[in-house]
Chain A
């Protein structure tokens, strides 16, 4: 982890008997938009609070630019935090909230005015300086909190579920703006969230956490396309998760796997498999195609199954199909609507359909050696 700006090394945290962080090690590069993603209670906020200086780890170290920051108090660390509840000072105006760190440094008034103006401009609130936080909307409060956290020009900005209190549309909007701010000022962002959509859409890299452990670190596409464990496969997006037994290892990158109740399917794999191994396979619903007619003339190794539409959920831009292929197996399939009236609507509830996908679109998450 040499060369990382933020290095977390073997951090452990106990709260009484509760083991909140288990030997967590991470390296975060300078300028990276890095997300800590996981369900509530996975330890992501605790890790963030340790980096900020609000908690001490039970063991391990945190380095910032190769300097051990654990002995340094929160107010002396070159990091600033955007809090989940904004934590704006209710007795101070927006201007004074943003100016707070500068007032502590006793900067002259003119310099404060200029700098606060600049940062309110950055978060697109140039005219709201005179208001009290209670007079702002949720999105505006969030912007003020961001401006206040950035005005000290920290080398790392910590964001603790900053968008969780906003409604869905506004969240999308703020996320894009946050990304734009990140591009503009170029410092490292460490972003804690339980929302996989948020993490996937803006992060350079994502660390997925579960029960106090980091289970996978990777780019958004890596954690989505090649999950390292069943937890990641289930937590990130929706998936079809199948258990089967290797029937034939094909060319080192593919295998034919027997699935009870479904039959043999071709899957992609990057693990050393041998015949007879038990495997767990994930197939993302959007990768599966669906049609009323049997697909013909497809190149390569294709998986084709026949089934009945059990359930059909129309949601405007897409439809979700639940297709039963046998008494024990149902596949979920997402289909983006491109030309609804010519094509997709032809498939109805209870229809007989064919579903198919490429061998590369099934991924072996977990393999268990056949003894």
Chain B
């Protein structure tokens, strides 16, 4: 008998997760229940002040804004990524398109955000072009609002939606769409009734991969957004560095973690129930096969030269 080496195999990742995930999260949970230090930092004395401070209209508004930005950018990303991934999967130049999707990762995330300022800023390329063509009299304020944050978030996280969708659509059996068309479905009906339900897994992954980073967004609203597009990530940064209320920063972090986890759970449950429903219903009324078992013997009559 072989020894059970399972624990040994998972030891590296267990250690990794403990050091870089469980322990930091525990520290955050611990800090959120402490008293704020006078000059920043914490006093090791139990307090619920950090959670009481959450009950505040400004925090509610920012939470709602964060949620809104995350939802809209996720929806836009999935809506863009499905056709893009579909086209890539059916193209003869798959690898080329894959390269195009990956190329932006070669440049630093922050530099790409600043690049958007050069494009959309008041003295940016777009305004400059519009002004010199005489289409506008004075520059348009593109940046420092929620739409700009959504735009740049979509730009930044789109590959995370395209890649899982691409790998799902590539495995999709396109004869199913042909079958649907053959049976009378329009192109739209074939897409909605056959393609979408069968690439559900890819859509789920795309939503999770984009919603989670979009919800925890910090750099994009910090650089591109204005005061109206403040997100929870920015509040945490402020409490940590400017206001120096570490317990409050911790409790807001926990709010993000909790809301994200909750959102993911609800989404996955909703998703699973739809596909499992069909399977369970199928198992309930499935009597033994009516088909007699036929052995796979060849009669050898298929004689051909």
Contact = CB atoms under 8 A, between A and B. Distances in A.
B101 interface: no
The number of chain A residues touching the other chain, given as a range, is 35 or more
Interface stretch (A109-117, A120-128, A182-190): A120-128
Given A93-B281, A128-B290, A137-B289, A234 B186 contact: no
Contact of A237 (B184, B278, B304): B304
Interface in A152-189: 152, 167-170, 172-173
B184 A105 contact: yes
A290 to B, nearest CB: 17
A270 B185 CA distance: 51
Given A91-B198, A127-B287, A135-B282, A104 B184 contact: yes
A80 B305 contact: no
Contact of B304 (A53, A125, A196): A196
5 contacts: A74-B182, A87-B176, A91-B200, A126-B290, A130-B286
B37 interface: no
Contacts of A126: 290
Contact of A75 (B181, B279, B282): B181
B276 to A, nearest CB: 11
B278 A93 contact: yes
Given A104-B189, A105-B184, A130 B296 contact: no
A121 to B, nearest CB: 12
Interface in B270-305: 275, 278-279, 281-282, 284-287, 289-291, 294-305
Contact of B294 (A87, A92, A104, A170): A170
A101 interface: yes
B197 interface: yes
A167 B183 contact: no
Given A104-B189, A168-B297, A54 B178 contact: yes
A230 to B, nearest CB: 11
B297 A169 contact: yes
Contacts of B287: 127
A65 to B, nearest CB: 18
Contacts of A259: none
B175 interface: yes
Contacts of B300: 315
Given A81-B179, A140-B291, A197-B302, 4 more contacts: A137-B289, A139-B291, A152-B184, A237-B305
Given A91-B197, A127-B287, A130-B284, A100 B183 contact: yes
A30 to B, nearest CB: 21
Q: Is the interface of B mostly helix, strand, loop or mixed?
A: loop
B278 A168 contact: no
B290 A135 contact: no
B137 interface: no
Interface string B104-147: 00000000000000000000000000000000000000000000
B295 A92 contact: no
A83 interface: yes
Contacts of B297: 168-169
Contacts, number: 131
Contacts of B186: 75
Contacts of A125: 290
B191 to A, nearest CB: 13
The number of chain B residues touching the other chain, given as a range, is 35 or more
Contacts of A88: 179
A87 B304 CA distance: 29
Contacts of B298: 167-169
Q: Output the residue of A83, A87, A92, A135 with the most chain B CB within 10 A.
A: A87
Q: Is the interface of A mostly helix, strand, loop or mixed?
A: loop
Interface string A14-42: 00000000000000000000000000000
Given A131-B282, A135-B282, A52 B182 contact: yes
Given A80-B183, A104-B183, A168 B282 contact: no
Nearest to A313: B300
A234 B305 CA distance: 7
A173 B176 contact: no
B275 A91 contact: yes
Contact of B295 (A53, A127, A169): A169
Contact of B183 (A54, A136, A148, A238): A148
B194 interface: yes
Contacts of B180: 89, 100
A197 B301 contact: yes
B240 to A, nearest CB: 47
Contacts of A75: 181-186
Contacts of B181: 53-54, 73-75
Contacts of B193: 100, 104
A132 B280 CA distance: 10
Given A80-B183, A130-B284, A168-B297, A87 B178 contact: yes
Interface in B145-197: 173, 175-176, 178-186, 189, 193-194, 197
Contact of B173 (A53, A85, A124): A85
Contacts of B296: 167-169
B189 A90 contact: no
Given A75-B181, A93-B282, A238 B304 contact: yes
B166 to A, nearest CB: 20
B290 A127 contact: yes
